[in-house]
Chains A and B, each alone.
Chain A
Amino acid sequence: MAPSRDEVFTTVRDVLSDALGVDHEEVSDESTLQGDLGAESIDFLDIVFRLEKAFSIKIPKGELFPEDALNNPEYLNGDKLTPAGLETLKAAMPHADFSQFEKDPALSKMPDLFTVRTIVNYVEGKLEAA
């Protein structure tokens, strides 16, 4: 039987607490990994690895945290994403909430998409598909 969303959140919270050295209280649904929880780029790999172990799932490179989605020059206009870029990113991250991001889709604001909720959504999706 697949775990409930609360159970998934609890495990994700434990993973982030271990990987980032933050207390449980600091981890909420809305917390951003970089801004709120202080994640560095190497921590993203640590998080992926721990999630794989905790949930017995396989996370292909770039599926949870896409890094190269915007590597086509047509997707960016300076720091801003073009409409094509935004669509590509949305397709690469169906587990993320774009409602805030799409008001001002800037590359520098992309880290705000990586929230705890994004991870919980992703894991739920993987567990349902399994």
Chain B
Amino acid sequence: MRWIWIDTFVEFVSGERAAAVKNVTMAEEYFRDHFPGYPVMPPCLMIEGMAQTAGILVGEVRRFQENVILAKIRLADLQAYARPGDRIRYETTLDSFDDRAAVTSGTVLMNGKNIGRIDLIFSYVNNAERSVDLPDHNFVFTEQFQHLLASARLLESSENRKSNED
């Protein structure tokens, strides 16, 4: 199971807001267990999709030079669950940030319909506050994310546009 829960960015305004989409397909591994006869995407993975969308928006403010870690899920409220064939869109805005943390709020849309809200806080990792020793290099924004970062950068300098499929 990979750990990439968005497929591409469809909107990206640096320091302000972003939107990314994820297709849900029967080919995804977790459907085998979750659940046989009733495939439904684990809600925590929808939270992760929003976290990746917002985390990249936050990271880009510092040109991805700093590690950005999910510090708090303020609220994740989901009114519906995703099934194979559904298309999820994560829309998020950067509400506030300083040199230690950033606050984002976001809406989850499924097949064009608003199905929930996910509000997060990220921290730019502070070595002093955790017991696990941190590596001294950037471990978050690695090559694994390059294709996603590329799709974000492509949109960064262009006008805002919504994906036509939505």
Q: Report if A and B touch in the complex (beta carbons < 8 A).
A: yes
Residues of A within 8 A of B (CB): 19, 41-43, 45-46, 49, 52, 61
Bound Cα distance A43, B71 (Å): 9
- Cα separation A49 to B103 with both chains bound (whole Å): 8
Q: How many A-B residue pairs have CB under 8 A?
A: 22
> Which chain A positions have C-beta within 8 A of B95?
49
Interface string of B1-33 (1 = CB under 8 A from A): 000000000000000000000000000000000
Q: Residue B129 contacts which of A41, A49, A61 (CB distance < 8 angstroms)?
A: A41
Question: In the complex, what residues of B have CB within 8 A of residue A46's CB?
Answer: 72, 74, 103, 121
Distance, CA A45 to CA B121, complexed state (A): 9
Task: Give complex CA distance A61, B101 in Å.
Answer: 11
Chain A positions within 8 Å of B71 at CB level:
42
Instruction: Report B's interface with A, CB cutoff 8 A.
Output: 71-72, 74, 95-96, 98, 100-101, 103, 121, 123, 129
- Extra 12 A-B pairs, beta carbons < 8 Å, given A42-B71, A43-B72: A19-B74, A42-B101, A42-B121, A42-B123, A45-B98, A45-B101, A45-B103, A45-B121, A46-B72, A46-B74, A46-B103, A49-B96
**Interface of chain A: mostly helix, strand, loop or mixed:** helix
Docked complex Cα distance between A80 and B121 (Å)? 33
Q: In the assembly, what is the distance between CA of A19 and CA of B119, in Å?
A: 12
A-B contact pairs, 16 of them (CB 8 A): A19-B74, A42-B71, A42-B72, A42-B101, A42-B121, A43-B72, A45-B98, A45-B100, A45-B101, A45-B103, A45-B121, A46-B72, A46-B74, A46-B121, A49-B96, A61-B98
For A61, the chain B residues whose CB sits under 8 A away are 98
9 closest Cβ pairs, A-B complex: A42-B71, A45-B101, A49-B103, A42-B72, A49-B96, A61-B98, A46-B121, A42-B121, A46-B74
Residues of A within 8 A of B129 (CB): 41
Which residue of chain A has its CB nearest to the CB of B123? A42
Query: Chain B residues near A52 (CB, 8 Å)?
Result: 96
Nearest CB on B from A49, distance (A): 5
The distance from the CB of A46 to the nearest CB of chain B, in whole angstroms, is: 6
A21: min CB distance to chain B, Å = 10
Docked complex Cα distance between A52 and B123 (Å): 19
CA gap between A98 and B121 in the complex, in Å = 31
B123: chain A residues within 8 A (beta carbon): 42
User: Residues of A contacting B72 with CB < 8 Å?
Assistant: 42-43, 46
Chain B residues near A49 (CB-CB < 8 A): 95-96, 103
Minimum CB–CB distance from A41 to chain B (whole Å) comes to 6
